[in-house]
Every structure is written in structure tokens, then in C-alpha cells.
């Protein structure tokens, strides 16, 4: 290379880009990807809900739900360990499915039916000790009912226990995200329409499921 080429600042600049510019690009990319995660983390830690936000109770930190080996559904079919993966799940838990249980299952069906294009992204699941669920299955054929064996069913139910409420008797609706994490709960006092609004908001903004 000639001395003229070596001493030419324009050629040197083209061949050797300034390092600070590359650092700024990396920094901006970090901010772009990390900011939403940091915001969600702070919301969890501070229990902060923006105006018009969720009516449910956020589970913080989220709890992974692990299906016990040997768990079966109401047809005595083995349940896949991936049941709570790749879809949003509305889960209701009742040791015995009495009138409040059937009323909430009706609410869940109405919520599901109102989701329009998002219907395939959501499944409804009932965890119960009730053995004869033929009437329920006849009324809600697409409802997933997990009810046996008793030991595995009890182990699964306990994973939904919260400090303020035992799952088996609290009559709550729970949301499990498509990664298999318990992340929201809804006491009986929260109206079905408010649950629907929260679920619609999650489906509109979530990349998973």
C-alpha cells in the first residue's frame, strides 16, 4: 500500500470502523430486548398494576406446574407431561364438583367461546376427586377432566395452593401460561367478564401460545 493510501484518513475510516459506534448498537439492542423483562420483573416485585390492569391476583413468583407420573384423565387415559405446554390453560379445582363448581365451569365455557380467533390457543381443565363425571363430560365435551389416581391428583392440586388459599376448597379459576407456569388466580368474587378481559389482554400481547 502506498504512503498516500496509508495516510488517507478517509480510507482508514472505511477499513477500520470506529469501535464506539458498535458499542452503541449493542447497548441499544440490550435496552430493546431487556427493558420489557425488567419492567415485568419490577411489576412483580412491587405488585404494581397499571390503571385498567388485571383484576386477578398475580402469582409472584410464577410457579411451574409439574404433572405427576401416572396421572390419568376421566377416560383413564394417561396424561402427557406436556399438557400445560403450548396453550394457555384455564384451570378450575374442586374436590367435589357441586353447584359453585358447575356454575364456574359454565362461566369458563362462555369465556372460551367469546375468544373468537383465539379459541384454539386456550384449553379448559378441571382437577377434581369426583369419579363419576359423565354428566359434566356430556355437557362440556371439550373440557379436560383430570381425576385419577387419587394420590397423583392430590399432588397436582397442591401445586396450585397459594399462601392465602388452598386450591381444593378456594373455588378459584387459575391461569397457566404456555410455558407451564401458574401465573394468575381469580377468586369466586371476580366476575366472569373481568376474567375474560384479562385473558383477552394476555392473548393480544403474548408471543407464546
In a domain, 86, yes or no: yes
In a domain, 109, yes or no: yes
| Same domain as 120, residue 72 | yes
| Same domain as 72, residue 120 | yes
In a domain, 50, yes or no: no
Q: Cα(23)–Cα(183) distance, rounded to whole angstroms?
A: 37
| Same domain as 65, residue 16 | no
**Domain residue limits at 14:** 3-44
| Same domain as 114, residue 27 | no
Q: 25-41 pLDDT, tens per residue?
A: 676 666 555 555 555 55
Number of domains in the chain: 2
Q: 91-114 pLDDT, tens per residue?
A: 999 989 999 999 999 999 999 999
In a domain, 134, yes or no: yes
| Same domain as 177, residue 110 | yes
Q: Cα(127)–Cα(94) distance, rounded to whole angstroms?
A: 6
In a domain, 51, yes or no: no
Cis peptide bond prior to 114, omega within 30° of 0: no
Q: What's the pLDDT at 165? A: 86
Amino acid at each position: 500500500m502506498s504512503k498516500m493510501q496509508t495516510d488517507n484518513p478517509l480510507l482508514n475510516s472505511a477499513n477500520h470502523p470506529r469501535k464506539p459506534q458498535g458499542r452503541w448498537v449493542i447497548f441499544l439492542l440490550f435496552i430493546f430486548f431487556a427493558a420489557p423483562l425488567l419492567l415485568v420483573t419490577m411489576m412483580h416485585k412491587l405488585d404494581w398494576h397499571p390503571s385498567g390492569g388485571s383484576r386477578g391476583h398475580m402469582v409472584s413468583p410464577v410457579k411451574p406446574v409439574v404433572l405427576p407420573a401416572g396421572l390419568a384423565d376421566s377416560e383413564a387415559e394417561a396424561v402427557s407431561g406436556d399438557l400445560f405446554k403450548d396453550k394457555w390453560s384455564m384451570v378450575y379445582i374442586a374436590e367435589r364438583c357441586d353447584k359453585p363448581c358447575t356454575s364456574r365451569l359454565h362461566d369458563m365455557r362462555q369465556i372460551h367461546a367469546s375468544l373468537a380467533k383465539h379459541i384454539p390457543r386456550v384449553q379448559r381443565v378441571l382437577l377434581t376427586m369426583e369419579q363419576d363425571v359423565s354428566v359434566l363430560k356430556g355437557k362440556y365435551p371439550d373440557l379436560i377432566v383430570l381425576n385419577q389416581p387419587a394420590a397423583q391428583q392430590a399432588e397436582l392440586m397442591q401445586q396450585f395452593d397459594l399462601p392465602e388459599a388452598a386450591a381444593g376448597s378456594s373455588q378459584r379459576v387459575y391461569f397457566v401460561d404456555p410455558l407451564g407456569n401458574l401465573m394468575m388466580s381469580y377468586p369466586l368474587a371476580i366476575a366472569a367478564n373481568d376474567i375474560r378481559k384479562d385473558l383477552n389482554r394476555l392473548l393480544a400481547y403474548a408471543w407464546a401460545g
